[in-house]
Structure 1
Amino acid sequence: MVSRLQPTTQPEAIYPESDGKPMADNTQQFRWIVVVKENLEWLFANDATVFIAGDLLWYPLEGRNDLSTAPDVLVVFGRPKGDRGSYQQWNEAGIAPQVVFEILSPSNTKAEMNRKLLFYDRHGVEEYYLYDPYGNCLNGWRRTEDFLEVIEPIDNWASPRLGIRFDLSGAELQIYRPDGQPFLSYVQIAGQLEQERQAKAQLEQRVEQMETSLEQERALREQEQRRSQALAERLRAMGIDPDQA
């Protein structure tokens, strides 16, 4: 009797949604991650085909749950906005993030960042930006042909994909939108909105005052007109033609 071997089924791979590492090690690193991510969200708010995320695990290959990384910020053109537990590239039409950002912290080692650069190079990233807020140092790489090549010079470099410009002339990096407006923190944006609200309220108040003044002038003219008409009627009653007076 010959027994048939039953085909073995491979267990379905599980792709964790966390690597157990904190999003940031300190307030400065966290602030920069939020500024870059939220300003990019704002920049592409009206484009439903640009997906942006912060600290999201990216799995480039199906079945390889041991192969992943979580860029501080990633940008994917050609994928819809929406919530995700992780970015599983085979479920995203095979599209790799085109742009990634990393913000350095004192705990990051050179070997760790070299591994990330190699990961991004191997798996199709087009632009990679690495900012050290402690030394105000920005490095960038852009894909040319089949590999990521260092961007030199990086100061005043404009991202081909994002259209944003990097300025290192000040005490810290300043990033500018394509329209020339700077990236802002939430506090700065809220402050601008409050200033605009107050300016709008002051303008409405001035308009209301002008309308009130015009209404008062109109009422005075009507009152004077009624007085003139009453006086004319009294003169006519006395046999005097006011038009000939």
Structure 2
Amino acid sequence: MARQNFVGLVVSQGRMNKTVKVRVQGKIYDRRIDKEIIRRKDFLCHDEGNICKEGDIVRIESIPKISKMKAFAIAEIKINKGQQFEQYEHLAKERIQQEDLKEAENFIKNKDSFSQIITKLEDLKKIDELSYQISNLEPNESTHEQEQQIIETINNIKTKYNIKSYPSTEPILDLELKAPIYKNEIEKRIYHMDHILNEIMNNSNYSEFKNQILTTKFKNRSLDSIQKSVIKNVLRRYVINEQNELPFAL
């Protein structure tokens, strides 16, 4: 007598030793509603080598009962999707680790840059304090040596940061507090979205560029009949796609 054979999907693996759960799907005719319906049934199957993974398409066949619930065994792995899913999961974890390392490097870089700014601010504050000390010293022989030491310290700080005169009318320290930080091109475009849309919609130099985008979107419609809000939304979708080129540099 031929053994029962089914083809199904491995839906659970690793919870029990040498056992996987296989879901078999089939169609049966239901006389009550006069149509075919999908029926699913789960089988606990014996996997001697623990080689099946979740997502594999397998063929199972009946065997003498090993336990109360196991009467089928894995006969063949037809499509090895589970191994591919496991590989994709491994690649995803590696990519997340690389992104975390990159963020950590950027954090350390920004931290070092911030530390340098703090050090420079402290040195400039020190120049102010030393200048105030010189202005309060009484001119006599006992304070002359102290005055020379203060002047030497101030000159060393000026040389360190290439300061020609202090106080200076030229900027000495750029704090970069207003400079935005972009992680990618999309964030950069979103930050400048209002400026980009205003230039494309109102600047006559980019009229041809705007009409080309709208003509591609609305092939059989007159551009004059399109509302301004609709045009703005179409241009926004175009701009937010980093694969589309902008008519000017940001």
TM-score scaled to structure 2, two decimals?
A: 0.30
TM-score scaled to structure 1, two decimals?
A: 0.31
**Bigger proportion of residues as helix:** 2
Relative contact order higher in (CA < 8 Å, ≥ 6 apart): 1
